[in-house]
Structure 1
Amino acid sequence: MNSRIADRIATVMFWAGALVVIIILGSLTGYVLYHGGKSISWDFLTKPPQVVRAGGGIGPQIFNSFYLLVLSMAYTIPMGLLVGIYLAEYAGSNRWTEIVRLSIETLNSLPSIVVGLFGLLVFVNMTGWGYSLISGALALTVINLPLMIRITEESIRGVPASLREASLALGANRWQTIIKVVLPGAFPGLVSGAIITSGRVFGEAAALLFTAGMSSPALDFSNWNIFDSSSPLNPFRPAETLAVHIWKVNTEGLIPDLRRVADGSAAVLILVVLGFNLAARYLGRIIYRRMSAT
């Protein structure tokens, strides 16, 4: 076969495969948004679900999802940055670093249900916290930390070695070079990675079933005492996130308008995850242009 013909056939196959994936994803997304978009309103986004009569919404579930995001990323980002910097700048190629990278790859491939059972044993039972936001946040940290470490390591390795050499030649020590030269150079990739990692929090349900719980107490949004069980800021209260809520209303069927709530919740969840991914690409591009002056 002529090499030119083989190249054209391979190109057509690649385009066809990409087109099939785009059609499948677009069809699924369009179907969910079409059926769920009709249910989205201000009341739906702010009111709690109604068990007795129809007309409830997903207000507490949205707040729980964002609050869990903040708690989880407060652990994930600092730890991911520190480990990523160590692997990229300090760790050499030896048996110890091979064990660390193997452990990271193993954690990254663990099913979320396994992480949930681990969180149930350690964060829920051994600590005595019970089903709580803090237990769910730590479980999500176990899930997202390997990805954040890999993103940090790859972003730092992508910084040209000439920048490090120039900084050291000007008299800066190694730590000053990392803080003032390497990290700013890797900042666009770090921002994009952090946002993408944050988006994974919203779609997680299996691990949260065993750690954060499947119900939320009645919340008083005027109560800012984090030690009060009715305060929305209390990290030791159980919390039902948006993804868990979708699973719950479809399996239990206790609310009269479950189809409306489930479709609307799924549409909101897709829009939030899509927004996080678009924001990651947009911010990464803007930051790169400003820092590279291109």
Structure 2
Amino acid sequence: MSAKTADKVATAVIITFAGVIVLIMAGLLGFILFRGVGHISWDFLTSAPQTIKAGGGIGPQLFNSLFLLVLTMIITIPLGLGAGIYMSQYSKPGKVTNFIRLIVEVLSSFPSIVVGLFGLLVIVNIFGFGFSLFSGALALTVFNLPLMVRITEQAMASVPLAQKEASLALGLSKWKTIKSIMLPIALPIIITGTILSAGRVFGEAAALLFTAGMSSPRLDFGNWNPLSPTSPLNPFRPAETLAVHIWKINSEGLAPDAPEIAAGASAVLILTVLIFNLLARYIGRLMHKKFTATK
């Protein structure tokens, strides 16, 4: 076989594989959205679920998912930025640095059920936080932290070395160089990676079953006291997220219209993740244009 023929065959095979993957993903998304979009309404998005009659929605579960996302990113972003900057700018090559990178890679591949059991043993029981949003946020930090560290490290490493050396040559300290020169350049990549890692929070269920719990107290959305057990802003209350609700409604089947609720909730979950991914791309492009002066 000539080189030209081999190139055409390889190109056709690669295009075929890519097309199959696209068709599978499009079919999966289309099936979920087709089954669920018709059940989505304002009442469905804002009302509480019903267990003894048809109707109800996913309002508390959707709020819990968003609140859990905020709590998780409040913990993850500072830790991930600090560790990533240390790994890229302060750590010296050697066995210790390689060991830290190995630990980060191992954590990023941990099964979610293992993280959930770890959270149940350590966070819920030993530390005494109980089944709560805060326990779930700490467990999800175990998932997101390795990704944030790698993203920050790679973003800082992508800054041109000439700009760093020029800043140091002008007499700026290392921290000033990192803060004023390197971070603004690396910020578009960090923001994009942060939003993408945040999207993983919505789809996680196994770890939250053992940390955030499978039920929520009846929330009073007029009560904004974060210390009240019925306040939606209380981070130490049990909370059923949207992904956990989908699993629970399908496994228990107590509601008469459980299949419809599960289909609608699945569509909302898919749309939320899609919005996060599109938002990440859009913000990443805006930040890249701002800091690189490109059109």
Q: Structure 1 residue runs of 4+, over 4 Å off? A: none
Q: What is the alpha-carbon root mean square deviation over aligned residues?
A: 0.6
TM-score (norm. length: structure 2): 0.99
Asked if 1:257 corresponds to 2:225, the answer is no
- Counterpart of 2:130? 130
Partner residue in 2 for 1:156: 156
* 1:28-67 correspondence runs (5 A): 28-67=28-67
Measure, in 1, the Cα distance between the counterparts of 2:200 and 2:61: 16
Does residue 233 of structure 2 align to residue 233 of structure 1? yes
Q: Deviations over 1:92-145 (max 9, x none)?
A: 210100110010011011000000000000110011121000000000001110
Structure 2 distance, partners of 1:129, 1:69, is: 18
* Matched residue, 2:210: 210
1:129 and 1:95 map into 2 onto residues whose CA distance is: 36
The AA in structure 2 aligned to 1:93 is P
Q: Does 1:244 align with 2:281?
A: no
Q: Distance in 1 between matches of 2:250 and 2:261?
A: 9
1:38 match: secondary structure: helix
Whole-Å Cα distance in 1 between the matches of residues 17 and 158 of structure 2?
30
Q: Quick one: distance in 1 between partners of 2:73 and 2:290? A: 26
Counterparts in 2 of 1:273-288, with a 5 A limit? 273-288=273-288
Q: Which residues of 2 match residues 123-202 of structure 1 at below 5 A?
A: 123-202=123-202
Q: Percent of pairs identical after alignment?
A: 59
Measure, in 2, the Cα distance between the counterparts of 1:52 and 1:106: 45
Superposed counterparts of 1:62-101, under 5 Å:
62-101=62-101
Deviation at 1:279, TM superposition (A): 0.7
Tell me how far apart the structure 1 counterparts of residues 67 and 142 of structure 2 sit (CA, whole Å): 17
1:235 match: secondary structure: coil
Question: What TM-score do you get using the length of structure 1 for normalisation?
Answer: 0.99
Runs of 5+ unmatched residues, structure 2: none
Q: In the TM superposition, what is the alpha-carbon distance from 1:62 to its structure 2 partner?
A: 0.5
CA distance in 2, matches of 1:120, 1:231: 24
Task: Tell me how far apart the structure 1 counterparts of residues 6 and 88 of structure 2 sit (CA, whole Å).
Answer: 40
Q: Which runs of 5+ in 1 are unaligned?
A: none
Report the Cα distance in structure 2 between the residues aligned to 1:205 and 1:252, rounded to whole angstroms.
16
Aligned-partner Cα distance in 2 for 1:122–1:29: 37
**Which amino acid is the alignment partner of residue 215 of structure 1?**
S
Cα offset, 1:12, TM superposition: 1.0
Q: Give the C-alpha shift of residue 38 in structure 1.
A: 0.3
Q: How many pairs are equivalent?
A: 294
Give, in whole Å, the separation in 2 of the partners of 1:167 and 1:195. Answer: 30
Q: Distance in 1 between matches of 2:7 and 2:196?
A: 34
Q: Structure 2 counterpart of 1:163, which letter? A: Q
Shift of 1:208: 0.1
1:119 paired residue number: 119
**Offset of residue 3 of structure 1:** 1.0
Kindly state the Cα deviation for residue 242 of structure 1 after the two structures are TM-superposed. Answer: 0.3
